[in-house]
Amino acid sequence: MKLTRPCTTIMARWLLILILITVPSLAWGQKNKSAPAPKAAPAAHAAPASHPSGGGAGGAKAGGGGATTANRGGGTTTANKGATTTANKGATTTANKGTTTTANKGTTTTANKGTTTTTANKGATTTANKGTTTTTAGKGATTTTAGKSATTTTAGKGATTTTAGKGTTTTAGKGATTTAGGKGTTAAGGKAGATNTAGKGGAAAGKGGAAKAPAKTVTTKGGNTARVSGGRVTSIKTAHGATITRGAHGATRVESRRPGGGRLVNTGRHGGYGERGYRGRDGHRYMGRTYYRGGHYYAYGYRGGYYHGGYYYGYVPAYYYGPAFYGWAYNPWAAPVVYSWGWGGAPWYGYYGYYFNPYPAYATAALWMTDYVISQNLQAAYEAQAAANANAAAAQGDASAQQDASNGGGGGGVALTPEVKQAIADEVKAQLAAEQAAAQAPQPAAAAAAPAAAADNTSADANQPEEVPAALDPNHRTFIVSDVLNETGPDGQDCSLSAGDVVTRIDDTPDANKSVKVLVSASQKSDCASGSQVAVAVDDLQEMHNHFREQLDSGLKTLADNQGKNGLPAAPDTKTKPNPDGQVKPDTSVKGELEAQQADADKAQADVQSDQAVAPSGQGND
């Protein structure tokens, strides 16, 4: 009995020591279980990184494997090459080559070259990396800077700023969002606050890490007024009243009013046209237009219709074919035709290889004329662009300005999709049916002698009924751009539409500026982005439709002249009968007026180019 009591006392003392050690340990472990760190994202192959370094006032741990650190004290610094998970309420700095996941309520700075960085917190977060993806979600202020990653996504309720990303950036939040400096596509959406976006092709981003400056208007000492948008001069109002429109590819369009009324339009040194008003046999207003191209004059007539305070002029054919010929062009041919256009070695065809691809065979004349009309627009655009760039190069003393016309377009799929081309073919068929009906209608009797028509578009004749122009006709919604235009894009910057681009009208009622919204269905590189919406003047849409009809008549003549040849089926009678209201005598004074207008435009552009306050930093919207 005396021997067992000392043993019992010793065992009791050891048991007491064990309890004193175990209870605090259990309490400490339980407290740390209350705030588990989130699971780290799956590690991916990390890019090579420079040697990481870090320091802090609290503990520090470094190793080659995975590391987990949790504390509530001061700063924690972790540097390793494995997966790292950190959960704390203090300041945390992490630099590593692997995958990093951080969840805290304090300030977090993360810099890595790994693949994925995920940060979720309520404090301020700054992230800079060269990896693939950066995702930040929190309620505090979030800043992501200098990422070369492919994707940056930020979602939060606080203010968010993303700068200098070359990849795709998507921002969604309830606060203010500002995005600048990305070359990819940016979308921003929030329920409150402001969103500022600027970039290429309707996206929000500025090239080179800075948002594009807002469009501005500057008047030179010579009295010429220039509009500068997106780093280039998009239009000039000369001191003599002409308006110069400058496209993204170098093509220009000059328009002014003629002394006797009507417009004088110069589409480059290769030609232009002048207008004069006259009265038709039916007593209506008409506008005669004389084109001068390649040393030749071509004259067409346009019938005026009064609508909402102004006149819109629609193309009138100079002659009609017989009903049978229109039926041959409208209905399917007996067998598909493989037609050789002979474009293989043409510079314009190679240049637009990324944009246009003709049908391999033609089951109807409507499909053949679809390719004919598109090709005519692209050829004209290429010639105008090449001439403008050659003149600019001569003025500058180098060949840099010619590069846009000599280099081919971008890669990828053809921009003119089968769906867009089918929409054009449907327009062709509708117009063929309309011309067939017009050819069969009796000609109106000549009206009593009437005074010459005024050339303005504002004053209406007495009791003039309103006529919806073809530009607003619900049956005509697809339009091929026929001349260079500058419109305001979704980002507030000017964007160009070039000959051969395709737009679809989505509004039926003009706004206060007599414009309607259109969807850009197909566009060339550097033009308004496909899928974007812009406002286009009804006058400009009417001009597109008129040019479309002119080219259709030219295509019908080509078919009539070549029927039974080059694989084309034989056509019925191709005789024509003149349309009196479409017979216009050419105005041979147009040539001299176009030359004087071009000289004035050259001086104005040289004046603008030499003015340092206007001189653009770049030519295109690359």
What pLDDT shows up at residue 136? 38
Instruction: Judge whether 237 lies within some domain.
Output: no
Q: Residues of the chain whose pLDDT is less than 50?
A: 1-5, 31-209, 399-412, 448-451, 617-622
Neighbouring-strand partners of residue 217: 227
pLDDT at 7: 53
Within-domain flag for 99: no
d(CA 413, CA 538): 31
**Residue 253 within any structural domain of the chain:** no
pLDDT value of position 529:
93
Q: Is residue 556 part of a domain?
A: yes
Angstrom distance (rounded) from CA 524 to CA 529: 8
Give residue 422's pLDDT. Answer: 97
CB 401 within 8 A of CB 250: yes
pLDDT at 17: 76
Query: Could you tell me if residue 536 is inside a domain?
Result: yes
Nearest alpha-carbon partner for 285 in 301, 303, 297, 272: 303
Q: Residue 395: what pLDDT? A: 58
Dihedral of the alpha carbons of 611, 615, 619, 620, in degrees to the nearest 10: -130
- Give φ, ψ of 133 to 5 degrees: -135, 135
**569, two tokens:** 């089926």
Say how many domains are in the chain.
Answer: 1
pLDDT at 150: 39
Is the residue at 148 inside a domain?
A: no
Q: Determine the pLDDT at residue 303.
A: 96
Q: Is residue 213 part of a domain?
A: no
Supply the pTM of this predicted model. Answer: 0.64
CA-based nearest residue to 416, from 481, 361, 472: 481
Question: 433-465 pLDDT, tens per residue?
Answer: 999 999 888 766 555 444 455 555 555 566 778
pLDDT in tens, 137-177: 344 433 333 334 333 333 344 443 333 334 433 333 343 33
State the number of CA atoms in the 13 A half-sphere of 9 facing the CB: 6
What pLDDT sits at residue 148? 40
pLDDT given at position 263: 95
What DSSP line would sit under 149-191, residue for residue? -SEEEEEESS-EEEES-SSEEEEEESS-EEEE--SS-EEEEES
Structural domain span for residue 568: 321-452+466-578
SS3 228: strand
| In a domain? residue 289 | no
pLDDT attached to residue 75? 42
